[in-house]
Copies of this chain bind each other. A is one copy, B any other.
Amino acid sequence: MQIAIVLFDRFTALDAVGPYEMLCRIPGAETVFVAEQPGPVRGDRGSLALVADKTLDEVPSPDIVVVPGGPGQSAQMDNEALLGWLRSADATSTWTTSVCTGSLLLAAAGLLKGRRATSHWLALDVLAVFGAEPTGERVVADGKFITAAGVSSGIDMGLTLVGRVAGDEYAQAVQLGTEYDPQPPYDAGSPRKAPAALVAELRTKSRFILH
C-alpha cells in the first residue's frame, strides 16, 4: 500500500507529520513524500524542511493521498501541475485525504463538489465557494474522501484511517504505541471552546497565528 504525502513551499509541518506518524505504521505501507521537485521543501516558518524523495510524476497512483495545508496553500490554488496530479491520483486512489487548508486544494481540483468536508476553522467558508459542504467536525469522511480540521487534527484523521484500513484493534495498538492519550494544558482548541475574545482576535489577525 503506497501512501503519498504531498509537500509544497510553506506547508505546515504537523499537517503532514501527524498523519504520517499514524499511517506509516499500517502493515506493508510504503510512505513517500512527494513534491513537484525532489529535495528539501521548506515549511511555513522557513526553519523546517522535509525532504521530498520523489516527484509527483514518479508517484502517479498511490493508494492513499494526503494533502497538508499551511500558508503556502494559497499559492497552489491555481497550480495545474499539482491540481492535475491530485485529479489523476484521486482517479485510482483508495483514500484521498487532507489536513487543514489542504482540503481547499482538493476543492480547487474539483474533487469535493457536493461532498461534506472540513478545513481549518478559519478557512471553512472557502470550501463552500468550491461547492463543498463545510462542517465544523474534526474529521469528516464522505465516501473515500477524509478531510480533517486544523493542523493537529491530522493525527485524529490518520488514526481513523488506520482503523479503516487495518482494523480497530490494530489502530488501538498504534494509538498505544504512539502514546496518543492527549492531555492539552488548556481547553481552547476550537472556536466553540476558546474565549470569545480570542476567537475574535484570531479572526481579525489570523495571519499572525495561522500563517
Contacts and interface: CB of A to CB of B under 8 A. Distances in A.
A182 B198 contact: no
Interface centre among A24, A49, A178 (most CB of B within 10 A): A178
Interface string A161-198: 00100001101111111111111111011110111001
Contacts of A188: 172-173, 175-176
Contacts of A199: 176
B40 A51 contact: yes
A69 B190 CA distance: 29
A71 B184 CA distance: 26
Interface in A1-47: 12-14, 17-18, 20-21, 24-25, 30-33, 40, 45, 47
Contact of A172 (B183, B186, B210): B186
A153 interface: yes
Contacts of A171: 185-186
A91 interface: no
